[in-house]
Every structure is written in C-alpha cells, then in structure tokens.
Structure 1
Amino acid sequence: MRHFLSGIALAAVIATGAVAPALAQNLFAPAVYVNQSVVTGYEVDQRMRFMQVIGAPEAGIEAAREALIDDRLRIQAAAEIGIEITPEGLQEGMEEFAARAGLDAAGFIAQLERAGVEDGVFRDFIEAGTVWREVVRARLLPRTQISDAEVDQELQRAIETPIIDRVLLSELIIPAPPGQEAQALQLAERIAGSRPNEAQFAEAARAYSATPSAEAGGRLELLALDNLPPSLRPIIASLQPGQVSPPLPVEGAVVLFFLRDVQGTLRPGAREQVLDYLTLRLASVQDAAALAATVRGCDDLYLQAGPEAAAQVQRQTAGQGAIPQGIAARLASLDADEAGVVPAGAGADLVMLCSRQPALAAQAEVPVTALPEDGVEAAVPQQPEAGGVPTREAVRNELFNRKINTAAEGLLADLRADAIIRRP
C-alpha cells in the first residue's frame, strides 16, 4: 500500500471512475494456482480495476495477477500460524484505507461499485494486508533490532544531507476532456510505467503535453519547493532525480512530473561537532607518549594511569569552539578511543577522544561519565526551531520500519520460492 497516491490524488482518480475495460471472456476459469488455492480470471479482472481506481503505479493484468498471488501467500502464511482477522479488525482497516481518499468505508465501497469493482475485492485486499502485518509481527519482530550505532549513523546522515528547497522539473500535461479521462489516465500510466529517462520523457512531452513547455520537452526553470502547491510538495519531495511522479489527475487533465535535479542547503550548525574527551597532565612528553601507547580506550585510561593519576583525569564534553586550541587541534586527528600528546610547558597533556557527534544530534543528557560540574549540559547547543533534525526516537522508528519492511519483502520472496505456483 505504500505506493499509492496521496489522498487528494486518490480522490481525484475515484471521481473520474477511470478504469480499463474488463477482460472479454472466460473470466471464471482458473488464471493461476497458488499451492492449493485458485485465482480466477474474474478475480484478476476485478483486482486490475481496483488497482486502477486507487492509482497504483502498475495496474495491468500481469500486475493484478502477481498482487493476487502475493495475497494468497500472505493469507496462507497467516493460516499456518493461526492468525485470522476479526470483523472489527477488518472494518478498522477498511475505514483507515478509505480515509486516505477522504471517505468512510461505505462511501469508498460505493465509489468502487460505480467503477465496476465489487466490495469483496476491497475486503479481500484489506484482509490480506492486515493478517500479513500480524505474520510479520509474529515471525520477524523479535529478530529485528536497531543498535545505538545505527541510530548515530542515520542521524549524522540526516544532519549532513542538505534540506531540499529547489527543484528542476519537467512537466507533461495530458488533456482529459469530459468522456476521455480514462484514455488520458491510461496514457499517463503507460508513460510513467516505462520509467523514462530525461530524453524519453522530453520526447513524450513534445508528443502529448498540452502546455507551452512541450516545445522544450516539458522543462521548467528552477523552482522553489515552497512555491509548489502544498498537496504537490510531498509527491515531488519523495522522488529521486531521474524519477517520474505517479499520474496526478486534475480537473481536465492528467499530469506527470520528471525530477531532473534538486538543490538544497545545509541546516544551520550542521558542520559543528560536540566532542567527549579526556585530558591528563603528566610530567613530560615522554611519560604522556608512553601512556598513550598503552591505553586502549577512554575507560582503560583510568586503569592504565594508576589510582593516583586517575583521580586527575578530566573528562569533558564541549563544542569545538569551546576547547583550547592546542587540544582541539590534536583531537581533530584522533578517532574514538585514540590518544595523543600535547606539550604543555615543562609537562604534557595526554588527550584521548571518547566520541564526536554532530552538535545538532547532541542530546541534553549525554551518555558519558562526566559529572554535572564538567558542564556537559552547557556544551550541547539548543536545536534551532527551523531546520531541526529528527529525534533519536524518530530515527530509531524509521530505521526499524525500513528494516522490518525489507525483512517482510524477504519473507514474501521465500514464500514464493517455496510455493507451487502454476498457470493452466
């Protein structure tokens, strides 16, 4: 369900009632066998109609057949471990899905029936998705874990990724006069489904687009993302350069966009770092160098230094600008749990880096052994309201969803590999 259009676009598709013609004959003959289950040609036709109504990116006969095979496997996997959907669960799932089009379940079913889709198709679709979530929860959830290191890496990636605020688009606007909406939508689906490159999209724009930009292959000048309609921004923001948007039905037309390139700016403070580090003043450079050569980590320093010297170890967490220049310069070349030496008059400072993280990712409670008087809290800058970054919990949830979805796709692939799937 993750490939469907936004609620606004979905509602527009439903409003047109645009679906492909039904398969001509022999609809109730078996179309494919999935283990002991049969999928009929009628079911394939109905699923194809349903997929076209909801704006699925691929909604032909073959895509409908493959979707039904997957649903049979999902339901069979649920039955094997005793998972069944309750009437309340089915109704809740139907209401949730219908709400994406701004409707309740009854209204959504009425729209489907006007487009020639039986209500049982919608119910079966929701049932397969609901029981599959329970299968995934039972079989994959206990094995899916997200480490703190994964969160740190993803958070740093998010901070260092520019915020997209300008886009280079090409447009293709296919006229859809009254009575010709279905043909326009089918043409748009064929173009988008072919996954055109920039040159191919430009050729299609010259051939089919009804706007002045068609002469330039649909190419538009650099646009600020904020200048686009609010309903369109998330659709464009979800694309990668070189991708085509799903067909977007609007009044009198169907629109496609091709994302040529993006431009962005770094968040304020994205390059700033907060360092957790140790220092220990020793009598000479030689003493500091000898200890640096033996110590294996920040916690190990207290042991290697001995009880008397360990009491003199200073652990601090500070932004780069607040660290003395000589120490900051030495820390710049160190990895975590690596030590160096900074001469200090007649003696020397042993300097050890415990961790470094983007300042924007630093939390108010830093997990280090520093005491409150070490100034940990003061070292962490406040996140700016604009251009802020997601919380660690939000990042963890996103990583979990990504990992569980990948695992679910793998599980479904395994079910396919083990199944007996044949066509008459």
Structure 2
Amino acid sequence: MRLIRCSTGVALAALVAGGALAQTAPVQTPAPAAAGTLNPAAEQTPATAPAAPPQFQLSEGIIATVNDQIITSFDLRQRMLMIIAMSQVQPTEENIPAIQQQALNALIEERLQVQEIAKYPDLVISDAEVDEEVARMAEDAGTTPANYMQFLEQGGIRARNMREQLRTEIGWRALVGGRFNNRAKVSRAAVDQAMRQVTEAASKPQYLIGEIYIEAARVGGQQAAVTGADQLVQQMVAGAPFQAVARQFSAAPSAPRGGDAGWVVQGTVQPALQVALDQLEVGQLSRPIPVEGGVYIIYMRDKRSGAATSLVTLKQIMIEAPETASPETVAAATARLEALRPQLTCDTMLARATSEQGLLGSDLGEADVANLAPQFQQVARTAEVGTVSTPVRTPLGVHLVAVCGRRVGGADAPTYQQVEGRLQNQNLAMLARRYIRDLRADALIELK
C-alpha cells in the first residue's frame, strides 16, 4: 500500500511565501452558463517570453522522496515555472498553491515512471528523439527549436530539466504502448457498434468542444477542484490559451491534444454538462461544472444541427411486375419472395438470384438515402444493418432489399479506421492511468 508521511507542522503551502507575483486583470462576474469569450489569438502558446520569471521563495532542500528518489525544492520550482510558461497562466497568490500541487503530483508520477522505465534496459531514449519532440513543440508554438528553448530559459527554466522531462515522457509512452497495445485493441463488433451509434446520432445536435477536467482526488478534494477550476477560467478569460492550460492542468484523456474532445452528440454526456452545451455559444467558455469526482470546464468550439447525409449500402432481389401487372401476378411474386426471404443474407442474395429463374439480383452499392426511390427510403432509414426487408412494390416489380451497411455522410463523417483508432487510444489512455495509479499505490512516498 502507498505510505505518505508528512513532517509535523510543515505544509506544502509554506513553500511559497510572498515573492513578486504578476496579478491578473479584473474579471467581471460571468453569466450563469458562460464565463466569457476566449481570444481566438490565444489558441496557440505565444512564442514570446515573459518579461521576467516569477519569483518564488521556496525553502531549500528535499521536498519529497519517492521510493528513496528525492524531489528537491529546485525540482519543484523548475516544474512550477514550466507549468506557468507552458500554460501561460499568470501566477497569483490565489493560484500558486494549485500550480504547486500540480507540479508536485507531476514530479511524483515522473519519478515513478523513471523507476519503471529503468526496469527495461533496452528502453533507451536518444538525444535525437528528444530533439524531435522539442522541434514538434516549437512548431506547435509557431517558432524554431532554438527560439523555443530560449523562451523557456528566459522564463527561468533550465534546458537540461526540460529535456529530461521530455525524455521521461517519451519513454513512458513507449513503455505503455509496448505493454498495452495488444490489450488496447478493439474488436470489429465494438467498432461496428460505435459506427452505428455515430449513424444514429447523425440527426441530433452536435458540439465540437474543448474540455478541462480537474480530478478532485488529485487536488485535495471537490472544493479545491472547484476553486482551482474557477481560477483557471479567470485566467483563460484574461487571455491564457485554452489548449495550453488543458495540457498542463487537465486530467482528461484529451489533455495531450490540448483538451480536444471532438464532436459530442446531444444526450451522450452527463446532465450537468448537457445543460452547459445547450446554453454555450460558439467561442464561449463555461464556468466550472461540478460532477461526481471532479470539475469540468467546457469551451464551445463549434455547433451543428447534424450530419447532412446518411449513406447506405443496399442489395436487392426483384421479380419483374410492371404497373400493368394483374393483382394475381403481384400477389404471386410477393408470396414467392416472402417464402425466400428467411434464407437470404447480404452475402448470399446475389448468388441466389442467379440460381433461380425469374429472379433478378443487383448490388445497388452505397447511396445517399435522400436519393433513393421513395419506396426504398423507409427501409434504408429504419432497417437494421444485415437484415432483408419484406417485399417492396415499385413500378418495376416486387423487391427484397437488404441493408448491408450504413454510415454518416459528409466531410466530417468519421471513417471506420478513425473510429477504431479513437477507441484504441481511449483504451490505451485508460490502461496508462491504471498503470500509474497502481505504481503510486505501491510506492513509499514521503512529503517533507
């Protein structure tokens, strides 16, 4: 079990005592649903350094040990500066404790990750891999690697500390991927079910959102999560980039993507979140939304009423019977197809049609439901994939129609591979969180 021992009379908050702290601009009290409109220019982390790094007065020495590996006050200060620089949150007397707690949690987990990586001698991250990660981060910030590192150094962050942090992050991703990729794979049935859910949701309102989730257990309880979230909202309304704040503070799986949660369908989220989604306008940021276990902040990036098209893949068997055919002829054709229907599937339908006289089979391919003959549209919209309809009368004859596939159309419609990748990434993120929780539960952690 995890053991945490705190020295008597010493609280972590005492590590910060005064110092030169930049103050945020006053923020007006927000409306019930929205805290304000974000500055679109703040979507990317600015590539210019702050005028001067914030000054913290931290007691010198060891802050904590993690299985006998130490965390010093220098380590803590460096990580706090990193969080401030990367999130563009302005340090204030009110939010310094939250930044400090976030930094300490990150350092504890990093020490555990380093210890776990060390068990695998072949898992060595080269300087070139670290250079590639720095280059990617610099590109995201719209600058060069040299300028990016200079930006961090002007903020008081040592390049060596930054590179070692990145080396651990890369190694941890490689370790998690190597251990859990096979377990994270999803079945075809799971992907098919997800595709059906996407299709069924196509006509419902949808929201493209960013999310930040503050987990109560990581920050000292629900009230601390609400307070911390409120401070983050004020910082973002004042100009801190949402994506950068999400990367540093969010506990959601979307954090590495800057809080990008993608398109969310009406009715698929918790009721408290749905209320915010219904009330927020595009470009607005929600106030903190308490839920069980933590607090959400939602940024409404876009809205839409639903997908414009629904595509189906159809096959059919037909008995010719023109409009002038007698009722007896139509009835006979209907009876024959009704008797044949239980024996048919999408895979056998065309072969059966070619083996019996008087039957015509055809693969209708994929089509927009709206472009189908009116008699086929009801089948295409309502029949389950893989089923064969009851006989359908058209001016050409009597038909059996098989719905062999259905998906959402339009430029934003996800492909099978995209849905599969999303589900696998969700599984991998869940396994990684469980992995670090288990390591933390088994560790000896002492806070000095």
So what's the TM-score if we normalise by structure 2? 0.57
Identity of aligned residues (%): 21
1:218-229, aligned counterparts within 5 Å? none
Q: Which residue of 1 aligns with 2:362?
A: 314
5+ residue gaps, structure 1: 168-189, 211-233, 247-256, 361-386
How far residue 122 of structure 1 moved from its aligned partner, in angstroms, is 0.9
Matches of 1:191 and 1:418, distance apart in 2: 25
1:75 aligns with 2:75: no
1:122 aligns with 2:162: yes
Q: Which residue of 2 aligns with 1:382?
A: none
Q: Do the aligned partners of residues 321 and 62 (structure 1) sit closer, same or farther apart at CA in structure 2, a change above 3 Å counting?
A: closer
Q: Which residue of 1 aligns with 2:229?
A: 195
SS of the aligned residue for 1:17 comes to coil
The answer on whether the counterparts of 2:312 and 2:404 sit within 8 Å (CA) in structure 1 is no
SS of the aligned residue for 2:385 comes to coil
How far residue 52 of structure 1 moved from its aligned partner, in angstroms, is 1.2
1:273 aligns with 2:311: yes
Higher RCO structure (Cα 8 Å, ≥6 apart): 2
Could you give the per-residue CA deviations for residues 261-309 of structure 1, whole angstroms, max 9, x where no partner exists?
9653545xx14433413224394433322333x3363224468779326
The answer on whether the counterparts of 1:98 and 1:104 sit within 8 Å (CA) in structure 2 is yes
Q: Which residue of 1 aligns with 2:433?
A: 409
SS of the aligned residue for 1:338 comes to coil
Q: Do the aligned partners of residues 161 and 405 (structure 1) sit closer, same or farther apart at CA in structure 2, a change above 3 Å counting?
A: farther
Matches of 1:51 and 1:280, distance apart in 2: 67
RMSD value over aligned CA atoms? 4.6
How far residue 413 of structure 1 moved from its aligned partner, in angstroms, is 2.5
Matches of 2:46 and 2:437, distance apart in 1: 29
Q: Which residue of 1 aligns with 2:175?
A: 135
Q: Do the aligned partners of residues 42 and 261 (structure 1) sit closer, same or farther apart at CA in structure 2, a change above 3 Å counting?
A: closer
Q: Which residue of 2 aligns with 1:287?
A: 336
- Kindly tell me the number of residue pairs found equivalent between the two proteins: 324
5+ residue gaps, structure 2: 1-40, 90-94, 210-223, 239-257, 264-275, 288-296, 321-331
Q: Which residue of 2 aligns with 1:15?
A: 50
Matches of 1:106 and 1:75, distance apart in 2: 27
The answer on whether the counterparts of 1:50 and 1:121 sit within 8 Å (CA) in structure 2 is no
Q: Do the aligned partners of residues 333 and 102 (structure 1) sit closer, same or farther apart at CA in structure 2, a change above 3 Å counting?
A: closer
Q: In structure 1, what residue type is equivalent to 2:368?
A: G
Q: Which residue of 1 aligns with 2:192?
A: 149
Matches of 2:407 and 2:53, distance apart in 1: 52
So what's the TM-score if we normalise by structure 1? 0.60
Q: In structure 2, what residue type is equivalent to 1:48?
A: M
SS of the aligned residue for 1:68 comes to helix
1:303-382, aligned counterparts within 5 Å? 307-308=355-356, 312-317=360-365, 318-339=367-388, 340-343=390-393, 348-360=398-410
How far residue 322 of structure 1 moved from its aligned partner, in angstroms, is 4.6
Q: Which residue of 2 aligns with 1:225?
A: none
Q: Which residue of 2 aligns with 1:419?
A: 443
How far residue 155 of structure 1 moved from its aligned partner, in angstroms, is 6.0
Q: In structure 2, what residue type is equivalent to 1:352?
A: A
Single out whichever of 325-334 and 340-349 deviates more from structure 2: 340-349
Matches of 1:417 and 1:238, distance apart in 2: 32
Q: In structure 1, what residue type is equivalent to 2:52?
A: G
The answer on whether the counterparts of 1:98 and 1:108 sit within 8 Å (CA) in structure 2 is yes
SS of the aligned residue for 2:347 comes to helix
1:37 aligns with 2:73: no
How far residue 60 of structure 1 moved from its aligned partner, in angstroms, is 1.7
The answer on whether the counterparts of 1:112 and 1:118 sit within 8 Å (CA) in structure 2 is yes
Matches of 2:381 and 2:182, distance apart in 1: 40
